[in-house]
Amino acid sequence: MNNKNKISISKRYARSLLKLAEEQNSILKVKSELNNVQEILNSSSELYSALINPIVNKNDKKEIIERIFERDTSFEVRNFLKLLIEKGRFNFVHSIIEEFYTLFDISENIAHIQITSALELNDEQKHTLEEKLALKLQKKIEVEYLKDSSIIAGLICKIGDNVIDTSLSYKLNQFKKELIKN
């Protein structure tokens, strides 16, 4: 199966799960439970392998889902996982969860931003930066701050696929390229 089909399938299942969560006013709960599912699956490659293994009986897989996830997930999320087992789509579970997160962010108007600076920003600087970005983007923002002394000064701001690089190292590299051209 090609990547385009995988993305299409993942989106379809994620949309269905988001719609169910919206109907039950449990979007945040489902998002949190999916995070738990992902953590459990990532921590046990044997569990994930068993759940995608075509030799293991579907009913056994559903029983495994029930036992492993009964404390950490709602009936609806467990049934969703069992549906993936029934339809032979459990191998898409990680991409479905990622698509769910993407759809959640769209529905909640959230932008994820990564800001890299040469020095640690203080709380006031972070707050000012976050306010300006939220106002500019007209979105709620979730920011991840990174420190990289190699950028010398300035900031690198990643918003999705867009990068705004105001670092001194970037400007020096651009200047160097211009000198080489001439």
The answer to whether 13 touches 89, Cβ cutoff 8 Å, is yes
Structure tokens of 101? 């997160």
For the question of whether the overall pTM of this predicted structure is more than 0.75, the answer is: yes
Q: Which residues contact 98 (CB under 8 A, 6 or more apart)?
A: 10
Q: Which residues contact 18 (CB under 8 A, 6 or more apart)?
A: 27, 30, 100, 103, 104, 107
Kindly indicate the confidence band of residue 69, based on its pLDDT and cuts at 50, 70 and 90. Answer: very high
Kindly indicate the confidence band of residue 21, based on its pLDDT and cuts at 50, 70 and 90. Answer: very high
- Over residues 96-150, the pLDDT tens digits come to 999 999 999 999 999 999 999 989 999 999 999 999 999 999 999 999 999 998 8
- Over residues 85-99, the pLDDT tens digits come to 999 999 999 999 999
Position 14, amino acid: A
Kindly indicate the confidence band of residue 177, based on its pLDDT and cuts at 50, 70 and 90. Answer: confident
* Percent of the chain residues past pLDDT 90, beyond the cut: 78
Q: Is the pLDDT of residue 41 over 80?
A: yes
**Kind plus residue range of the DSSP H or E element containing 175:** helix 168-181
**Could you give the angle at which helices 93-108 and 27-43 cross, rounded to 10 degrees?**
150
Distance, in Å, from the CA atom of 89 to the CA atom of 83, rounded to the nearest integer, reads: 8
